[in-house]
Amino acid sequence: MTDREVSYGNLTTRRALFTQGALLLFGGLGWLASFLLLPGLILVLVAFLQRDTDGGVTWAFSLDSFRQLFGFTSTGLSSANLWIFLRSIALAVFTTVISVGLAYPMAFFIANAQPRRRLVWLSLVAIPLCTNLVIRTYAWKLLLSARLPPARLAATMGWIEAGRDLLPSWFAVCIGMISAALPFAVIALYPSVERLDRSLIEAAQDLYASPVRVFFQAILPQTVPGLSVAVLLTFVPAMGMFVITDMLGGAKHWLVGNLINHQFGPGRNVPYGAALSLVLIALTLVGVYSSRRQPGQGAEVL
């Protein structure tokens, strides 16, 4: 027997080894193929079909959804969709930058705590996730209402009229988005920050590097794997968000997510919703891909 192979100390034939591996993979991959890949392909197909008057699809090829997507309406060309796409990207980038910016000091703070305390602090970051996003967002709606201190303070400062709520507004949407994304950013960054080689930071400081240079040249490159996961976990949900904009933003502050949600709900235009989903996927992939192409890194954790 010459074609035997050792894997993790297990000496057996190549074929037996691959059979074992395939059996282990079968369940998970089969699940993902049937409930993610296959429906995903159907979604792509549906984008090229015609809508049906009662909210279904008719099996007839049509580019109507894409025409609608690019803003061709019965009244002529409209730029409304373009603004919604740009707004979604801008808000997702803003949310990601602020969340990651806050997550760095928080991760440093936790990594500097006593070893026994670290897990407690980390759990404190994760606990808000146990309350649902909808309930937390509703809590912000409550907190920003006219009678409570934040709105009163804003009124005293002359930012808003007295007796008005702080929402619907972009301010409220941003607060909601950042507060939803923050736990993910901290949890993703923490492992990298904890493993940071402190001697490099000290060396940089000994060489009189400014704090900004220390961050960009001694800290950032070491935390790139965690950073790219953090960007992924904050940017992707932010791109498709509709709950927060719905509850805190009012009708003027729609994102792609709201547009898609509308088509599957009251809009009753599934092909258009499917076409919009393709755009969202494309935009997300561009965002994710550009965040992963950090200079000088090949390391990928996810």
Q: Which of residues 104-133 bind other proteins (CB under 8 A)?
A: 104-106, 108-109, 119, 123-133
Would you say 69 and 272 are in contact if contact means Cβ atoms under 8 Å apart? yes
Task: Compute the chain's Rg from CA coordinates.
Answer: 24
Nearer to other proteins, 76 or 145 (CB): 145
| Segment 291-298 long-range contacts (CB within 8 Å, at least 24 positions apart) | 291/228, 291/231, 291/232, 291/235, 292/228, 294/224, 294/227, 294/228, 296/221, 297/221, 297/224, 297/225
Nearer to other proteins, 17 or 76 (CB): 17
Which tokens in the block code for residue 103?
């997550």
How far apart (Å, rounded) are the C-alpha atoms in residues 150 and 37? Answer: 46
Q: Count of CB atoms within 10 A of residue 14's CB?
A: 11
**Candidates 60-68, 73-81, 153-161, 234-242; binding stretch for other proteins (CB under 8 A):** 234-242
Query: Nearest CA to 87 among 241, 243, 274?
Result: 241
**Candidates 70-78, 79-87, 155-163, 230-238; binding stretch for other proteins (CB under 8 A):** 230-238
How far apart (Å, rounded) are the C-alpha atoms in residues 213 and 202? Answer: 12
How far apart (Å, rounded) are the C-alpha atoms in residues 159 and 181? Answer: 26
Binders of other proteins among 76-105, rule CB under 8 A?
101-105
Binders of other proteins among 236-295, rule CB under 8 A?
236-237, 239-240, 242-243, 247, 257, 260-261, 264, 270, 273-274, 277, 280-281, 284-285, 288
How far apart (Å, rounded) are the C-alpha atoms in residues 197 and 40? Answer: 43
CB of 72 to other proteins, least distance (A): 22
Q: What is the x/- site pattern for other proteins, positions 140-179, by CB under 8 A?
A: xxxx-x-xx--------------------------x--xx
Show the DSSP H helices in the chain as ranges: 14-32, 38-46, 64-69, 80-112, 115-126, 133-143, 149-156, 170-194, 198-206, 211-213, 224-239, 243-244, 256-264, 270-292
- Is residue 186 near other proteins by the rule CB under 8 A? yes
How far apart (Å, rounded) are the C-alpha atoms in residues 278 and 271? Answer: 11
CB of 267 to other proteins, least distance (A): 13
Q: Which of 168, 183, 226, 249 binds other proteins (CB under 8 A)?
A: 183
Nearer to other proteins, 12 or 78 (CB): 12
Q: Which of 56, 73, 86, 297 binds other proteins (CB under 8 A)?
A: 56
Nearer to other proteins, 40 or 163 (CB): 40
**Candidates 62-70, 75-83, 154-162, 231-239; binding stretch for other proteins (CB under 8 A):** 231-239
Query: Nearest CA to 165 among 179, 181, 151?
Result: 151
CB of 77 to other proteins, least distance (A): 26
Binders of other proteins among 60-79, rule CB under 8 A?
none
Q: Which of 211, 213, 290, 297 binds other proteins (CB under 8 A)?
A: 211
CB of 148 to other proteins, least distance (A): 6
3-class DSSP state of 49: strand
Binders of other proteins among 5-44, rule CB under 8 A?
5, 7-11, 17-18, 20-25, 27-29, 31-32, 35-36, 38-40, 42-43
CB of 147 to other proteins, least distance (A): 5
Q: What is the DSSP string of 179-193?
A: HHHHHHHHHHHHHHH
